[in-house]
Structure formats: structure tokens, C-alpha cells
Amino acid sequence: MKWLFIALFVTIGCRKGNSELEAKYKQARDSISTGDKWAAATKQLEQMLGPAQEKGALEWRWAKVDGTYCYDVRIMKWENGDTVRGVMGGVVNDGVKDRFDRCKAVATGEK
């Protein structure tokens, strides 16, 4: 059992994504905070990541797939408000199929 755990750790743990994309999306995510003005936050993220792939009334999302990894940033705003309610994002690999598939759907415009 011990060797199975080690083999699984080496197989999954050693897979690396695109460090430049990961840094870019992390920097974008970290540049926005709860309470920031919505218009300024969306403008800043679009300057950093390009146009948002999803633009809803209360949530905008950016995503990029690179091989078996997907990078994303999502911001939400308060209903009837003009400030950021929350910021999320990160990187997920295809080993977490449901999250990867949702991220990839945003990145590729699939619904």
C-alpha cells in the first residue's frame, strides 16, 4: 500500500502546468479585492487577461486551457451594487474532471 501511495504521488504530484500562465492568472486574481469598484476591476482584468469569456450580470469569468491544465479567474458583484463581492481563481488539471471540464467550457466557449 505504501508503494502505491508513493507511485500515485509521483505520478500526480510531478505533473507541472504552464508556470507563466499560472503566474499570470494568479497575479490577475490577486490584483482584485472585495470592495473594489466593479468597472475598474473588470477593466484591469481585461487589460491583464483579455476580454472575459463569460459576462453575466453578477459574474465575469476568464479562463485559458493549456494541455491538461486550465487556469481561471472569476469575479462576482453584489446585486444592485457597483463593487466586487468576491474573487476566485486558480489552476486545475484534468485529474479533477468536473472542475477541469467547467473551466475548459468557459475557456472554449462551450456550454
Grid coordinates of 25: 492568472
51-93 confidence digits (pLDDT tens): 999 999 999 999 999 999 999 999 999 999 999 999 999 999 9
| Centroid of chain to Cα 68 | 14
What's the pLDDT score for residue 95?
Answer: 93
Give the predicted TM-score (pTM) of the model.
0.82
Q: In sequence order, which residues have a C-beta less than 8 Å from that of residue 75 and are 6 or more positions away?
A: 32, 41, 42, 45, 59, 60, 84, 86, 87, 88
